[in-house]
Amino acid sequence: MVETAGTPEPDWVSTMADEVIERAGPGSRIVCASGLSPSGPIHLGNLREVMTPHLVADEIRRRGYECEHLISWDDYDRFRRVPAGVDPAWSEHIGKPLSAVPPPFGSPYDTWADHFKAPMIAALEELGVPFRGISQTAMYTSGAYRDQVLLAMRERATIDGILGRFRTKKKDAEDDDPDDDADVVHGAEYFPFKPYCGGCGRDDTTITAYDDDTTEMTYTCACGFSETVPLREFTRGKLVWKVDWPMRWSYEGVHFEPSGVDHSSPGSSYQVGGLIVDEVFGGRQPIGPMYAFVGITGQAKMSSSRGAVPTPGDALAILETPVLRWLFARRRPNQAIKVAFDAELHRLYDEWDALERKVAAGTAGGIETTGHVRAVSTAERELSRTPEPVSYRTLASVVDITAGDPAQLERILAGLGVTLDGARPRLDRVTQWVESYLPEDAHTRVRDEPDTDLLASLDEQDREAVAMLRDHLTDDWSLDGLTTLVYGVPKKQAGLPLDVKPTDELKAAQRRFFVVVYQLLVGADTGPRLPTLLLAAGPERVRHLLGG
């Protein structure tokens, strides 16, 4: 268990690590696994497929055990569809292995698979996720799985019988098998292997004959090509998914591999795979908790086939590494996660900053402290953090109002007691968020010149309040000082001490005052927090706009 002060309760990561260590047994090399398909942009939802075993493997390594995290790149799967935004001409490659499809135009990579692997690999490096990547193209074409393929073909009747326990007359529309109908019998003998055609390179093939003794296999393709080849020498094809997955469990000795809801329902690949790995490959099904989907604010389950969706790289552009790790560490795998790309992101950061303060003060609970440790470090290293953090909400207002001008930013941050470098990397994340996700109508535009008509129309109470703000603006030019000032002006007008608890009447007076100031500064009834707005605009400009 992660070492923290006191005696923390075990979190879900520690509990699962206990189970995995017990399953592996003394002296075993422990293996946790993930699988990713580079069929298109690897979206943010797929990150749970990696982070769940990563966190468990990391905990196991923290305890001093040898533990490897494997990521199988399913780059030998068929190219099934052209993602939105890609030239429809790529449909000519449907049915080919992902590793044989050319990349999108302008890509520096050689293949479709490599093009979509690269951003995920970069994101995992930034997230502190060490892993051993396994290309399924390399494994199959090198003959590494030859014995397993031949075994599956010899035991095809057994596999067919297992699958038959779960088949329905009509294929379930929610079937999780990426090979579509590859493992469904249509009045012919069942074969668990799918060749890629020697003529067109696609998998629109049907095995018509197979000899167990000689391993001679005859197949035909929809393109008209046909050949007879010895399977013991043939490496241009793969096992269908529901056989391929349990084969890998056995081959790699996997102890832990979670799966999504679609893989965990009755009759799905995880349940079927447990029988196949036992009865065919002589292995053992790994511990495999179901994980819930990851969504973004305003959107439920993400699917890369539906068009542009956020990727881990997109999230890391606006979220610091520890905060994104914390999202996964603090929720059990079966709990849904929402990642906010809108203003809800500010609330997430408020929670994170509150946790950081509690940890620093030694007042965080055991599970809170453990989750924080998992977010900011791994068994191998400390992760990048902002040394002088400023509220994300405040930084967003400052960046927006100054349009990211470095000199202005430096001036305002100095007023907050931090430096440009000290505010990074959070400052860079905030800048990206403001540029990419802040709605156009939410941007703050500070007036260049005073609204003389509005100033002239103010009644005596409002004129007095504006004058008090203007005259005492630089008494304490800091976020705390300005906060005390703007909330204190209505109190002083009412003859109340600054530390008085606000009544409904006082709150109404403060709201009225705030609206007047917002109208004078930005021409709207609301805006960023008023102290932040004042700080960002600067004392000279504020005085000018307040009629000074």
| pLDDT (0 to 100) of residue 419 | 94
Residues of the chain with pLDDT > 90, as a percent, come to: 78
Structural domains of the chain sorted by starting position, each given as residue range(s) with its CATH number in brackets: 1-144+292-385 (3.40.50.620), 386-443 (no CATH), 448-548 (1.10.10.350)
- Confidence band (pLDDT; 50, 70, 90) for 303? very low
Determine which of 88-97, 119-128, 297-306, 333-342 has the lowest per-residue pLDDT on average.
297-306
Give the closest residue to 75 by CA, choosing from 24, 40, 127.
Answer: 40
Give the closest residue to 521 by CA, choosing from 442, 431, 440, 454.
Answer: 454
Dump strand ranges (E) for 211-368: 216-221, 226-230, 237-239, 259-260, 290-291, 294-296, 337-339
Examine the pLDDT at 3 and tell me if it is beyond 60: no
Percent of residues in the chain assigned helix, strand, coil, to nearest 5: 50, 10, 40
Running DSSP on this structure, what letter comes out for residue 181?
Answer: G
Tokens linked to 507: 């709150």
Examine the pLDDT at 359 and tell me if it is beyond 80: yes
- Confidence band (pLDDT; 50, 70, 90) for 304? very low
CA dihedral 195, 201, 205, 208 (to 10 degrees): -60
Span 27-79, pLDDT tens digits: 899 999 999 999 999 999 899 999 999 999 999 999 999 999 999 999 999 99
| pLDDT (0 to 100) of residue 186 | 44
Mean pLDDT of 383-387: 95
Span 442-482, pLDDT tens digits: 899 999 999 999 999 999 999 999 999 999 999 998 888 99
Average pLDDT over all residues of the chain: 91
Span 199-220, pLDDT tens digits: 999 999 999 999 999 999 999 9
Q: What does the alpha-carbon distance between residue 281 and residue 151 come to, in Å, rounded to a whole number?
A: 8
Return the higher-pLDDT residue of 97 and 532. Answer: 97
- Confidence band (pLDDT; 50, 70, 90) for 279? very high
- Confidence band (pLDDT; 50, 70, 90) for 170? very low
Determine which of 198-207, 267-276, 421-430, 516-525 has the lowest per-residue pLDDT on average.
267-276
- Confidence band (pLDDT; 50, 70, 90) for 84? confident
Question: Do the Cβ atoms of 413 and 419 come closer than 8 Å?
Answer: yes
| pLDDT (0 to 100) of residue 179 | 52
Determine which of 89-98, 210-219, 258-267 has the lowest per-residue pLDDT on average.
258-267
The number of beta carbons lying within 10 Å of the beta carbon of residue 98 is 27
| pLDDT (0 to 100) of residue 306 | 45
Report the SS3 class of residue 331: coil
Q: What does the alpha-carbon distance between residue 87 and residue 80 come to, in Å, rounded to a whole number?
A: 15
Return the higher-pLDDT residue of 101 and 303. Answer: 101
Mean pLDDT of 521-537: 91
